[in-house]
Amino acid sequence: MILSNEKAPEIRSDLPYEYRRRWYDKDFGCTLMVDRINEIAPEEVKQFAVMLLDRMVVQIREAHQKKIGGAKSLGIDAVKEMYRSRSHHRRWYDEQAGIKKAVGSLYSLPNEALTAVGFHLSELFGFLTLYGFACESLGMEPDKEDLAKITSTTISNGSHDGKEALIQVIGQELYDVLFTT
């Protein structure tokens, strides 16, 4: 798996109701990750995050299917809900097909993978949000190499090194001005 060696937290059932209304709210890290996608700007950075999420889910799902010897049924209720949700736009992410597909694909992951993805990507998406904010503040276009550096460092080495990569990309002085005041 592409995630770092940091241990993901256990699935929490003691969360307040507002964090358990949606199917992915059974895991706080996943909830945070989905919420952070909404916060990411500019649009180029958001689309990068969505593409990354989609690719990671596909890779994890394929590895899991190999491990268990084929695809596992989601169940009749899940399939009904997925079909019904095609015609509704109840959530912010339903308005954009790419984001809706990426979030919907999380449904196919086993709980332990959902927890790991939520934990690791919520950290990364937080860094991408900060990077996007820095770009907008400076009137700069996001750079694909910068996005790749922040992403690969965070996924390979964890959140501490991811933060350091972000600081290398935008500079310590700008980081301090924008994010520590």
Q: For residue 30, what pLDDT is reported?
A: 84
Q: Is the pLDDT of residue 20 over 80?
A: no
The stretch 75-80 carries a mean pLDDT of 60
- Confirm if 17 and 31 have CB atoms less than 8 A apart: no
CA 175: distance to chain centroid?
A: 22
73 — pLDDT class (breaks 50, 70, 90):
low
- The model's pLDDT over 111-143, given as tens digits with 9 standing for 90+, comes to 888 888 888 899 999 999 999 999 999 999 999
pTM reported for the whole predicted model: 0.73
Q: For residue 112, what pLDDT is reported?
A: 82
67 — pLDDT class (breaks 50, 70, 90):
confident
Mention every residue, 6+ apart, whose C-beta is less than 8 A from residue 134.
140, 170, 174, 175, 178
What burial class does residue 49 get, using C-beta atoms within 10 Å of its C-beta: 0-12 exposed, 13-18 middle, 19+ buried?
buried
Domain ranges (residues) in the chain: 23-179
